[in-house]
Amino acid sequence: MPEVVRPGPAIGRDDWGLWRSVADRRLRLQRCGRCSRWWYPPGPCCPSCLSFEWSWTLVSGEGLVVSWATFHRPYFPEIETPHTIVVGQALEGPLLPTDFAYDQLRLKVGLKVTLEYYEARDRRTDRPFTQFRWRPSEHS
Amino acid sequence: MTSEARGAVAVVGVGHTDYASDWRRAREASGTGASFHDGYGYGARALAVALRDAGLAKEDIDGLAVGAPLTSERMGEVLGLDVAWSTSGDVAHAIQEAISAITVGYASCIALVFGTSQKTSGYKYGGPSGVGTARHLAYTFFEPWGLTSQGALYALLTRRYMELFGLTDRAVGAVVVGQRAFAGMNDFAVMNHPLSIDDYLASPFVVEPLRRLDYTIVNDGGVALIVTAHDRATALVGRRAVGIDAFASYDLNSGGTSLEPRLLDFYHSGHQAVAERLYHASGYGPQDIDVVGVYDSFSCHVPVALAGFGFCRDEDVNEFLLSGATAPGGRVPVNTAGGHLSESYLQGWNHQIELVRQLRGEAGPRQVDGARRGLYVSDVAGRVRGITLSNEGTAL
């Protein structure tokens, strides 16, 4: 498999837990300890009840397709086109836009998808990093 | 807007640069970095035209609202204009603030000025050095997956809307073709050669399902409006005064980066909040509106906004567009100067000029017969804005 090169993540102060969990290939998102809400991308407090009592919590890795789009015009020199983006809604609630390495003709709203992980190299720093994306679930 | 403020303010003068010439010059200068003007120069050029249009002198202006990212300090310096009141922001913000300032009495005659050299400056919308990233995390957060650019985010919206409500390529194309037909009757439009639905369908995808022709034209240029109290406007220019009947706004911020309001709601809860207050304050609704301006950085804004503001249901928008409703001669003419797609991308400022022209009856061959009431809507990144305008005089 050819090496995947990507713009690496710009890791903000709230994002470390997310990218550490991705490096472990087990995605964790913030979940509120008071009202149980999940959210993404990371932020300082629960956007429902403003609680700061949250924890990085393992997600099921399962979701449903909300939408998709395919880049035909290249925006990044390292990303070949056509390049498809899928937005999947995690069973926990948050929407996670990711790239998609499978036939886009399989996509439909509500298709069951599962998270997978892959290794990429950051074009800017040349460092390897782990990345997550949706793939069709086994039996969908 | 309270009933006291309703109809209290009117547009008394409009001006803009020749977008077609701006485009030719910008293309010639492309890559050299040498723009004909910077944003301030374009804005100054437009204001000179607006002052002549209103029959006013610079000394009559005591307030200045400037289109971001321009600053009122530098714009005022370029214009040699000291003012009692100033602000800066997008066009809807400038109008909202100007209504307040005149109603409260901070200023009596306000120049609203915008200019940009975004084309010659080589602004990028998306990619490694995109614009607007400070405001919207969605423009950068998904870079590691190769997802940036407002166009891609609207492509995601369009795909889901197509899947849920049966919107087709041909119906989206009807928006593009219709606006181009209007632009063909506008000498200032950048793109005015006729376009067929087959031309549209042959246009290459940028981010599928959106094609090159679904994207705005990035251009240089300037726009200015002058607003004052309605009674004063009428005294100055008589029936050419166009009243601003109402303004309403609603910001959908929750879940914005992960695209929840965009994809799960199509911004409709914001549309409905704005429409309800706007129509209530105006005393009229979608069935009474003769001409519409929709902020169209992408064609898909039009169907989603029309459904959100009550012109048709989501399920019916496909047939609505295919019937030619938004095109010349249609029931709800939209972006009658060509909009961002065909006239020029002046970030909603040029739409105000066209609504004023239509309501003055000065739109020439593209004039909507008997146009009395106009609506402007924008919903960029969930910031929903609505403005109603009419030529019916103050309703007080």
Per-residue pLDDT tens for A24-52?
999 999 999 999 999 999 999 999 999 99
Q: Is B136 helix (H, G, I), strand (E, B) or coil?
A: coil
Percent of the residues in chain B that have a pLDDT greater than 70, as a whole number = 93
Q: What would the two tokens of residue B123 be?
A: 């602004």
pLDDT one-digit tens code per residue, B24-39: 888 887 766 677 889 9
Name residues whose C-beta falls within 8 Å of residue B226's C-beta, 6 or more positions apart in sequence.
Answer: B11, B12, B13, B14, B50, B51, B53, B54, B56, B61, B109, B110, B111, B112
| pLDDT(B375) > 60 | yes
Query: Mean pLDDT in chain B?
Result: 93
Query: Mean pLDDT in chain A?
Result: 95
CB-hemisphere CA count at 13 Å for B352?
34
Confidence bin at A110 (pLDDT 50/70/90): very high
Does A94 sit within 8 Å of B156, measured CB to CB?
no
Percent of the residues in chain A that have a pLDDT greater than 90, as a whole number = 87
Confidence bin at A140 (pLDDT 50/70/90): low
Residue B130 is predicted with a pLDDT of: 61
Query: Exposed, middle or buried: residue A69 (CB in 10 Å: 0-12, 13-18, 19+)?
Result: buried
Q: What is the dihedral of CA B207, B211, B213, B218, to 10 degrees?
A: 10
Q: How far is A138 from chain B (nearest CA, A)?
A: 23
> Which parts of chain B fold into alpha helices (H)?
19-29, 39-54, 72-79, 91-104, 150-165, 169-183, 197-202, 230-237, 260-263, 268-282, 301-308, 317-322, 339-342, 349-360
Whether B78 contacts B41, CB under 8 Å:
yes
Over range B360-371, report the average pLDDT: 97
Over range B275-297, report the average pLDDT: 97
How far apart CA A46 and CA B229 sit, in angstroms, is 45
| pLDDT(B373) > 80 | yes
Q: Closest chain A residue to B209 measured between Cα atoms? A: A69
Give strand pairing partners of B89. B67
Give strand pairing partners of A119. A130
Higher pLDDT, B28 or B289: B289
Radius of gyration over every alpha carbon of chain B, rounded to an integer in angstroms: 20
**Residue B134 contacts A where some CB pair is shorter than 8 Å:** no
Q: CA B65 → CA A19, A50, A59, B1, B232, distances in Å?
A: 43, 36, 48, 19, 19
Residue B262 is predicted with a pLDDT of: 97
**Residue A134 contacts B where some CB pair is shorter than 8 Å:** no
Q: How far is B393 from chain A (nearest CA, A)?
A: 45
Task: Please state the pTM of the whole predicted model.
Answer: 0.94
CB pairs under 8 A between A and B: 105
**Residue B261 contacts A where some CB pair is shorter than 8 Å:** no
How far apart CA B50 and CA B9 sit, in angstroms, is 17
**Residue B285 contacts A where some CB pair is shorter than 8 Å:** no
Over range B324-328, report the average pLDDT: 98
Residue A138 is predicted with a pLDDT of: 79
| pLDDT(B206) > 60 | yes
Query: Exposed, middle or buried: residue A57 (CB in 10 Å: 0-12, 13-18, 19+)?
Result: middle
Residues of chain A in contact with residue B256, where contact means CB-CB under 8 angstroms, are: none
Nearest Cα to Cα of residue A82 among B209, B199, B217: B209
Best mutation target among A15, A22, A64, A73 (most B Cβ atoms within 10 Å) is A73
Q: CA B69 → CA B118, B121, B333, distances in Å?
A: 11, 14, 31
Whether B227 contacts B11, CB under 8 Å:
yes
For residue A22, what is the enclosing H or E element? Answer: helix A16-23
Does A8 sit within 8 Å of B264, measured CB to CB?
no
Q: How far is B190 from chain A (nearest CA, A)?
A: 23
Does A70 sit within 8 Å of B205, measured CB to CB?
yes
| pLDDT(A123) > 50 | yes
Q: What would the two tokens of residue B188 be?
A: 């200032």
Over range B353-381, report the average pLDDT: 97
Q: How far is B227 from chain A (nearest CA, A)?
A: 40
**Residue A127 contacts B where some CB pair is shorter than 8 Å:** no
Q: What would the two tokens of residue B236 be?
A: 């100055």
| pLDDT(B214) > 50 | yes
Over range A75-89, report the average pLDDT: 95
Q: Closest chain A residue to B265 measured between Cα atoms? A: A66
Residue B6 is predicted with a pLDDT of: 64
Over range B169-181, report the average pLDDT: 98
Over range B173-200, report the average pLDDT: 97
Does B140 sit within 8 Å of A10, measured CB to CB?
yes
Residue B154 is predicted with a pLDDT of: 97
Residues of chain A in contact with residue B208, where contact means CB-CB under 8 angstroms, are: 69-72, 82
| pLDDT(B195) > 50 | yes
pLDDT one-digit tens code per residue, B76-107: 999 999 999 999 999 999 999 999 999 999 99
pLDDT one-digit tens code per residue, B120-135: 877 666 666 566 656 6
Residues 334-373 of B with CB under 8 A from A: none
| pLDDT(B366) > 80 | yes
Does A71 sit within 8 Å of B263, measured CB to CB?
no
Residues of chain A in contact with residue B152, where contact means CB-CB under 8 angstroms, are: 69, 71, 75, 85
By 3-state DSSP, what share of chain A in percent is helix, strand and coil, each rounded to 5? 10, 40, 50
Residue B1 is predicted with a pLDDT of: 46
